[in-house]
Amino acid sequence: MPRSATTSDVFNAVADAHRREILDALITGERAVGALVDDLSMSQPQVSKHLRVLSEVGLVRCRAVGRRRLYRLEPARLRPFRKWLAKYEKAMNARLERVDDYLKELQRQAGRHDS
């Protein structure tokens, strides 16, 4: 994992499969680094490295409880993904509505032939 892969935006941060694994592991709630290491297929240094990138772009937040560091998702930072996907959903919906209109038109035509 080259250190030069600096990530300043959330899209870059989730481009890495290991970082997506970490995010998925945090869906159910706040976890300590050790617990993440136990559950994932990565060593402690690698999990730490990815958590740092995720923290830098704000996708996860960290708080210290005694000597333990707990990480949790920051759902507000998922907004850029929703905004990006929304464009596609809008386009897809428009296309599906056109298909819908076309099917209705076909049915009307079929109805005329039957009579």
Partner 1 sequence: MTADRRGRAVIEFPNELEIVITRTFDAPIQLVFDAFTKPEHVRKTFAPYGETVTECSIDLRVGGNYHFVMVTDDGTEMSFRGTYLKVEPPTRTVETWIFDGWPGVEAVETLELHETGGATTLTWRMAFRDKAGRDHMKKYDGIEANLDKVEELLRSLLAGGAARGRAGR
The answer to whether the CB of 19 falls within 8 A of the CB of 53 is yes
In this structure, the dihedral spanned by the alpha carbons of residues 91, 96, 97 and 100, taken in order and rounded to 10 degrees, is 170
Question: In whole angstroms, what is the distance from residue 16 CA to residue 57 CA?
Answer: 14
- Of the pair 72, 79, the CB lying nearest partner 1 is at 72
- Of the pair 23, 37, the CB lying nearest partner 1 is at 37
Q: Which of 16, 20, 25, 48 binds partner 1 (CB under 8 A)?
A: 48
Binding segment for partner 1 (CB under 8 A), chosen from 40-48, 87-95, 96-104, 107-115, is 40-48
Pair of tokens at residue 109: 């035509």
* Residue 1 in contact with partner 1, rule: CB under 8 A: yes
Per CB under 8 A, which of residues 62..91 are in contact with partner 1? 62, 69
- Of the pair 25, 42, the CB lying nearest partner 1 is at 42
Pair of tokens at residue 75: 């759902």
